[in-house]
Chains A and B, each alone.
Chain A
Amino acid sequence: MTEPISQISTSIDALTQELEIITHNLANASTSGFKRRCNAFSKVLDAQNGAPDTFSPGKIELESALDFSQGSPVQTGRPLDFTLMGKGFFVVETPEGPLYTRNGSFEVNTNGQIVDSTGRTVSGEAGPITVPPAVSTSEIQVSPDGRLSANGTKIGKLQVVDFQENEGKLVSAGENCYLMPDKTIQPAATDKIVIKQGFQEASNVKIVDELVDMIMVTRLYEANMRYVSAQRENSTSLNSVAMG
């Protein structure tokens, strides 16, 4: 008697979390370099409608994997906006270790170093990249493989790394960055990537897809709730029969 109810409450919790994930995706529809989280719980639940045997209580695998698919490049014309076309990340240095990001909206700080929009140093292949004082940011050019130059003078090369099959192990650190909690996994330098200057990578959140998921979640939530109320009615009538 109680078991179906506890199953339902687990799935209600999961659906609530799923709505929260969808909302977070939607809130970041304009965050450059943002990667949406796909949360397939409602789809799994929906697919299992035909085969209820496979659904066992307490075994709901709610995962929120990051979807690292490419966001569309949006032209900004700023010389320090870079988009990565392909799999890979820029590296930003923090006192706690490197963070990885796809948000290539960079700035130059007072020391001439290239930094991200929160002021953390962007890592080059040979440490931080320093723009010489005589070079204005509008003169900076980038080659598709990340070599920065100004008027023919080399400035440095942006470090671009790839985690290959370990990409899924990255966790979000907020502020558009990802963190690799497993220190044994080291990213490899990648050359299968093209850097475009003057573009920002738009968030890969697709509003319509999220809207469809959101409708599905609300409907499934409603259906689960209906089941709970039906159960309640059943037990009430059962009780009234027993009590006479």
Chain B
Amino acid sequence: MLKAFSTAATGMAGQQMMVDNIANNLANINTTGFKRSQINFQDLLYLKMSHAGAEVASGVNTPTGLEIGSGVRASSTTKVFTVGELENTGRPLDIAIAGDGFLQVTMPNGEIRYTRDGSLQVNANGQLVTASGYSIEPAITLPTDAAAMDIGKDGTVSVTDASGTQSSVGNLQLVRFPNSAGLSSEGDNLYSQTEASGTAVTGTPGEGGIGTIQSGMLEKSNVQMVTELVSLITAERAYEINSRAIQAGDKMLQTATTLGR
């Protein structure tokens, strides 16, 4: 059978995966702290019919060989951790990380996850939690008599009570990774550490390469609609052309089979 069929099929599968990836990026265009994914492709191995540089006569080498490739595969998706646009919300509990860094979140089972979504809330116990209700690590509890609160650039959480006295109730800490693109996406705007990401390094915001905390702001998704749409058109066309290659192969085989009649 024609090798072209399976080659074109890998092309179609690859483009389909690209569309899946674009669709997820576009779906998260309004997700706070979302980072777009970029899909990377690699060519598959080659069938070497003749080697380049093989000696055909004494001192004469073929200038090029004959290599027939077997298509493409999606090799990886990379999260692109560029900072999204910061949007002013005016809500003191909304924080954005200007620069590198993640907030730590304690899951109900005690595991630590990481997020850049800083739309914090206060739960019934006065504890700082994420929008989904998971508590922030290190745990910070606001006193019940707090009249106002403020989060500083270095992560210091301070409250003002009814009498106007200001006091610090804790420090938000951020972590960074040697390779943040290697984090595993867990949904719910959360990431978890992997072998590839390396171990989290905890630090104070604004120090050691960690970004600062901007209170009253939220980091928007870094998905650019136009870029995604352009990629979508390219993927769609590439998918179409790969299906045309299958048709062409089919037509050739048809010509060959009618020969026997």
A and B from one complex: yes
Chain B min CB distance to A180 (Å): 9
Q: Using a CB-CB cutoff of 8 Å, which residues 202-244 of chain A contact chain B?
A: 207, 210-211, 214-215, 217-218, 221-222, 225, 228-229, 232
Task: Specify which of A65, A103, A112, A136 is in contact with B176 (CB 8 Å cutoff).
Answer: A136
Q: Known contacts A24-B7, A134-B209; decide if A34 and B43 are in contact (CB<8 Å).
A: yes
Whole-angstrom CA separation of A228 from B53 in the bound complex:
35
Q: Which of B77-85, B145-153, B162-170 contacts A (4 or more CB under 8 A)?
A: B77-85
Q: Is A189 an interface residue (CB 8 A)?
A: no
- Asked whether, in the complex, the Cβ of B42 is within 8 Å of the Cβ of A214, the reply is no
Inter-subunit contact A30/B14 (CB<8 Å): yes
| Interfacial residues, chain B to chain A (CB-CB below 8 A) | 2-4, 7-8, 10-11, 14-15, 18, 38, 40-46, 48-49, 51-53, 62-72, 75-76, 78, 80-83, 99-100, 176, 178-182, 195-199, 201, 208-210, 227, 234-235, 237-238, 241-242, 244-245, 248-249, 251-252, 255-256, 258-259
Chain B residues with CB below 8 A from A118, complex form: 42, 75-76
Tally of contact residues, A, Cβ under 8 A? 68
Q: Is A32 an interface residue (CB 8 A)?
A: yes
Q: A182 an interface residue at 8 Å Cβ cutoff?
A: yes
Residues in B whose Cβ lies below 8 Å from that of A1: none
Tell me the interface secondary structure of chain A in the complex.
mixed
CB B35 to nearest CB in A, in angstroms, measures 11
Given A37-B69, A78-B80, A110-B195, A32 contacting B2 (CB threshold 8 A): no
27 A-B pairs with C-beta separation under 8 A: A19-B4, A23-B3, A24-B7, A24-B70, A26-B245, A27-B8, A27-B11, A27-B14, A27-B72, A27-B242, A30-B41, A64-B67, A77-B80, A110-B196, A117-B75, A118-B76, A136-B99, A136-B100, A138-B81, A138-B82, A171-B48, A171-B65, A174-B42, A174-B46, A181-B53, A215-B248, A225-B256
Question: When the two chains form their complex, are residues B100 and A138 in contact, meaning their CB atoms are under 8 A apart?
Answer: yes
Contact A221 to B252, CB < 8 A, known contacts A17-B49, A20-B4, A172-B43: yes
Q: Which residue in B71, B81, B100, B195 is a CB contact (below 8 Å) of A24?
A: B71
